Amino acid sequence: MPDIIQLLPDHVANQIAAGEVVQRPSSVVKELLENAIDAGADNIKLIIKEAGKTLIQVIDNGIGMSQTDARLSFERHATSKIKKAEDLFNLHTKGFRGEALASIAAIAHVDLKTKQEGKELGTLIKIEGSTVVAQENTTTPKGTSVAVKNLFYNIPARRNFLKSNSIETRHIVNEFQRVTLAHPNISFSFYHNDSEIYNLISSNLRQRIVAIFGKKTNEKLVPINEKTEIVEITGFVAKPEFSKKKRGEQFFFVNDRFIKNAYLNHAVSSAFDGLISNNFYPTYFLYLKVPAKSIDINIHPTKTEIKFDDEKTLYAILRSTIKHSLGQYNVTPVLDFNRNSSFDTPYQYKSKKVDTPKVTVNPDFNPFKTGEQKSVKSPFKKETKEKWESLYTGLTIENIEVESETVNSSLFSETKSNSKTYQIHNKYLVSSIKSGIVYINQNLAHQRILYEEFLENITVKEAMSQQLLFPLEISFNKSDIHLIKEIKEDLESIGFLFDKILDDTIVVKGIPVNITESQITIIIEQLLEDIKNDVPETSFSQLDIMAKSLAKSLAIKTGTKLDLKEQEELVNKLFLCKQPDLSPFGKTTFVTINLDEIDKKFNN
């Protein structure tokens, strides 16, 4: 039998390795930005076109590379960061495996320009699919420029698996935010299709957060600062009232490296117990400094997951630090059950001197004397009749009304009605039909009703708007503002009216008729999140996502009590829908049980 194991050709091995490092355009952005930081740059520019599918370029003013280093940087496992295995546990840089540029070059066209300080000429290298097609001297500024073009051009299957431009751009923005938040001392700029998304100057951490997420963020932040022998924790958490229904703005950094850690995230969430509602998540930007030898970074290809020596201790320190900071800044309520606020000194009397009370005594008072006593009138004592019996003069037994102890039956039973609709556990509606009984999920049914109404308003008829008495300002980060501008016409088609859209704020002057003012912020945030994650390429599908998102946000929630009129209206509207049996997300809205099935239950 012939041998069946063989070595893979280098170009195939490189493409397979690239699959671990480069999953999508945002993976390339992350690797190139981290390389620029490791090169000591203090000014970095990111340029992308067509969500990175056409071009990803990172330009920095770092130390640059020599001609030999530039050529060697595209070889697999070529690195300046580690020389022996022990170095893996004492890392102070971003990249260290020496596989990023080699992996990127295997699946794209790469142009590298680099020059060291003091050199007259730099180096230009052009690579296509791991093959060097050109290498020459060139004039270029100090630093490095890496342009990655036509990503996955030689692996069509991988390119076909990429999502829409909106989703891929969102992933790039996420990576850009993570890197820039980890290094507020470095200036960053970001351009997409020749449009400036971010221009971040060198600043402190608070200023960097505000520059990325909007000026209104500043008032939301509570500083965190704790230093122990095990860990140093700095950063910010947002006040509980600014918690969100999505986990978007949650950032953990360990030694200036963004990480994901469900265990530490739970520590933060537990510190907010009792302060935020269920299904809401706290916003935080937390920076942990730990000894490099106490963590293992080399457990995941993307290096976003790391292993700690003592996670339990970190959990306890992190949780108590956040609780302490929330209390220190009077964010958490103070409960003292031994204190009676009625004993507090009124503000206007705090600085007044206390007067000695005057006591007056009647020397002629005799408690055993039956006659009328002449005593000093007290301002605190009400005069009464001499004989208590006089209080009941003229009162007969017929005048006394005794309160009935009969229990009102309405406490225990529903109001009698001829309606055939009933509500169970404030969740389901039950109605009788000719063949048996129908059970309706009120939340899912209302989603279907609202979805079809919104879809009709968007595509067929003009939506009705209600003008706000006072225009409402809502703050968003720049990437969200960019998305709002893209879908502005669609939002107006469902009833939203905008006074103006600024760099980090929108001013809403009109809203759809079935939305209240208090719901606007939550609904728009939910809508943006759904569009970022789900929107396909076609414009109609984007409108469909908007209708679904609004229906989900505004539908009657489980636990809401409905009166008989509301129950009947919901049932009638549901069965007037074009597809009443399914919610907009494909869930069953109602189930029927026929009489035969009910009869079988009693004939067993």
Instruction: Classify residue 281 by its DSSP letter.
Output: B
Q: Is 78 exposed, middle or buried (CB count within 10 Å of its CB: 0-12, 13-18, 19+)? A: middle
Residue 366, token pair as written in the block: 């005799």
Residue 407 has pLDDT above 70, yes or no: no
CA–CA distances in Å: residue 157 to residues 22, 151, 165: 14, 12, 17
Checking if the pLDDT of 244 tops 90, the result is no
Contact 307, 295 (CB under 8 A): yes
Query: Which is higher by pLDDT, 474 or 345?
Result: 474
Structure confidence by residue, pLDDT tens digits, 342-373:
555 555 555 667 777 777 777 777 777 765 55
Percent of the chain at pLDDT > 70 equals 76
Mean pLDDT for 38-44 is: 90
Amino acid at 193: N
Convert the pLDDT of each residue in 172-188 to its tens digit. 998 999 999 999 999 99
Least confident of 10-14, 51-55, 376-380, 580-584: 376-380
Q: Are residues 504 and 546 in contact, defined by beta-carbon separation less than 8 angstroms?
A: no
Would you state the pLDDT for residue 57?
95
Tell me the two tokens of residue 214.
Answer: 């909007």
CA 374 centroid distance within chain:
76
The token pair that represents 439 in the structure block: 């059970």
Mean pLDDT of the chain: 79
- How far apart CA 13 and CA 20 sit, in angstroms, is 11
Rounded to whole angstroms, the Cα distance separating 553 from 548 reads: 9
Are 520 and 506 in contact by the 8 Å Cβ rule? The answer is no
Per-residue DSSP letter, 306:
-
Enumerate residues 6+ apart whose C-beta is below 8 A from 75. 98, 102
Distance between first and last Cα of the chain: 66
Reported as a single tens digit per residue, the pLDDT across 96-118 is: 445 678 888 888 999 999 999 88
The mean pLDDT value for 52-79 works out to 85
Sequence-ordered list of residues with C-beta below 8 angstroms from that of 489, at least 6 positions apart, any chain = none
> Domains in the chain, please, with CATH?
10-200 (3.30.565.10), 205-328 (3.30.230.10), 428-590 (3.30.1370.100)
pLDDT digits (tens, 9 = 90+) for 190-221: 999 888 888 999 999 999 999 888 888 888 89
Q: Which two tokens stand for residue 412?
A: 């225990």
Residues in contact with 104: Cβ distance below 8 Å, sequence separation at least 6, in sequence order: 18, 21, 22, 28, 31, 32, 110, 148
Nearest to 147 by CA among 66, 54, 71, 63: 54
Task: Give the DSSP H or E segment for 323.
Answer: helix 311-328
Quote the pLDDT of residue 537: 46
Packed helices 165-182 and 520-534: angle between N→C axes, nearest 10 degrees: 110
Mean pLDDT of 538-550: 70
